[in-house]
Structure 1
Amino acid sequence: MSAMLDIQDLRAYYGQVQALHGLQFSLNEGSVTTLLGANGAGKTTTLRSICNMIRSTGTIRFEGKPLTGKSTESIVKLGIAHVPQGRGTFTRMTVEENLQLGAITRSDTKAIAGDIERMYGHFPKLRERSSQQAGTLSGGEQQMLAVARALMLRPRLMLLDEPSFGLAPLVVRDLFGILGKINREDKVTILVVEQNAQLALEIAKQAYVIETGRIVMSGDAKEIADNEDIRKSYLGY
């Protein structure tokens, strides 16, 4: 089976500083994969490289088609949604306006309305806050809105950057439970970058560990979670 996303010899740069050093990994359709590592390891840079937000070299293929040289907007239209660290909601717009904006590339008005209802089903709190400005939501609610807005694209692949950052443990559990449900029911392939390695390994099937811009470990998520030496050496728990 060919990979949905295939990355070969990925190198990324901030000015003259090289941040990624020949990354190579792939994602299968319908999978949940986690990319783990400490702050500054290159996790966020990897997601930005996939979306062509920074200068990079190497080969990135999505469903067999090269992403190299494509604009970020073109990559989104192919079915790749990116939920960046810090949520990135439009704070002066209401919850529902944010969801509508998530479907800006679509013209199927009736289906968009149906998808908004589906998002409210995934995230009941958002229905309660539908007319509220996004900037007045709690951190957990803003993260839920960011995920829901990305799903309004009807993506094939979702890239999530530190979705648990700054959230209370119970909120994080709820959010990861919803992500697992979205993967199972909506068949969205997920690549999640996380510092909460323990939780990420619970929902992921495959895991990659990155250190100073290089992948130093990969394998079945459960096997990595069960390996005490790996956890202590690379994951800090």
Structure 2
Amino acid sequence: MTALLNVKDLRAYYGQVQALHSLSFSLNEGSLTTLLGANGAGKTTTLRAICNMVRTTGTIEFDGRPLTSRSTENIVSLGIAHVPQGRGTFTTLTVEENLQLGAYTRNDKATIASDIERMYAYFPKLKERHTQQAGTLSGGEQQMLAVARALMLRPRLMLLDEPSFGLAPLIVRDLFKILGQINREEKVSLLVVEQNAQLALELADQAYVIETGRIVMAGGAKEISNDENVRKSYLGY
């Protein structure tokens, strides 16, 4: 099976400081993959590197096309959506205005309206708040909006950076359930960076563990969750 995303010998730098060291991994189309690791391990940098937001060397290919020489905007237009940590919604705009902006790469106005209704079907709370400024939403609602806005791009791959951060456990469960649904029904491949390792491994079919900018373990999510070292280091038992 040909990989949708293929990363080889990836190094990333902030100034003179090297943050990633020869990362190599791949994601198949339709997969749900999680990247686990402690704070500062390089998880967020990996997502930024895919979007060409940091200086890198090595190879990153999406559907066989190299990404390293492309602008971030061009990478988005290829079908990669990035939901950063902190959500990044436009706080002074309404929920619906945020969703409309999410489709900025598209010209199909007729289907944009139907896609907004589809987002409301996934996230009914957003429909209730559609005229409300994004900055006045709860943390969980803002995260839902960030995911919905990314989906408005109709991406083939979505990168999510700590989607559970700062959210109550019940909201996190609901959000991850919807992410699984999006993966199955929309056929959107997901690469999820997540501190809640146990929940991420329940959701994912593939997992990578990163430490100090290096991948130290890779395999099926079930296999990784059963590994004693992962359980002690990331799952707490």
Deviations 1:53-101 (A, max 9, x none): 0001000000000001100000000000000000000000000000000
Deviation at 1:229, TM superposition (A): 2.8
Structure 1 residues without counterparts, runs of 5 or longer: none
1:202: which partner in 2? Answer: 202
Counterpart of 1:164 in structure 2 is 164
- Report the equivalent of 2:18: 18
Identity of aligned residues (%): 81
Contact 1:209/1:234, CA 8 A, preserved across alignment: no
Aligned residue in 1 for 2:55: 55
Query: SS of 1:24's equivalent?
Result: strand
Q: May I ask how many residue pairs the two structures share in their alignment? A: 237
- Whether contact under 8 Å (1:34, 1:201) holds in the other structure is yes
- Please list, as runs of the form range in 1=range in 2, the aligned pairs for 1:25-174 lying within 5 A after superposition: 25-174=25-174
Please, which runs of 5 or more residues in structure 2 have no aligned partner?
none
Which one-letter code corresponds to 1:202 in the other structure?
E
Kept in 1, the 8 Å contact 2:201–2:221? The answer is yes
Whole-angstrom distance in 2 between the partners of 1:147 and 1:25: 24
Q: 1:46 & 1:235 partners in 2: Cα distance? A: 22
Do 1:140 and 1:167's aligned partners in 2 also have CA atoms closer than 8 Å?
yes
Question: For residues 18-74 of structure 1, what are the alpha-carbon distances to aligned partners after superposition, in whole Å with 9 as ceiling and x for unaligned?
Answer: 000000000000000000000000000000000000001000000000001100000
Residues 37 and 235 in structure 1, CA contact (< 8 A), matched pair in contact too: no
Distance in structure 1 (CA, Å) of the matches to 2:190 and 2:66: 19
Q: Distance in 2 between matches of 1:19 and 1:152?
A: 31
CA-to-partner distance for each residue in 1:160-187, whole Å, 9 max, x for gaps? 0000000000000000000000000000
Q: Deviations over 1:162-218 (max 9, x none)?
A: 000000000000000000000000000000000000000001000000000000000
SS at match of 2:3: coil
Structure 2 distance, partners of 1:136, 1:191, is: 28
Using the TM superposition, give the Cα deviation of residue 233 of structure 1 relative to its aligned residue in structure 2, in angstroms.
3.5
- Map of 2:221 onto structure 1: 221
Post-superposition shift, 1:231?
A: 1.7
The answer for the alignment partner of 2:231 in structure 1 is 231
- SS of the aligned residue for 1:4 comes to strand
Q: CA RMSD in A?
A: 0.8
What SS does the corresponding residue of 2:87 show, helix, strand or coil? coil
Contact persistence 1:36–1:235 (CA under 8 A): no
Q: Is the 8 A contact 1:36 1:43 kept in 2?
A: yes
Q: Letter of the aligned partner of 1:70 in structure 2?
A: R
Distance 2:231 2:5 in 1: 26
Runs of 4+ more than 6 Å apart: none
Determine the C-alpha separation between the residues in 1 that align with 2:66 and 2:76.
Answer: 14
CA drift of 1:223 comes to: 1.1
User: 1:235 offset after TM fit, Å?
Assistant: 5.0
AA matched with 1:47: L
Amino acid at match of 1:182: I
Structure 2 counterpart SS, 1:76: helix
1:183 maps to: 183
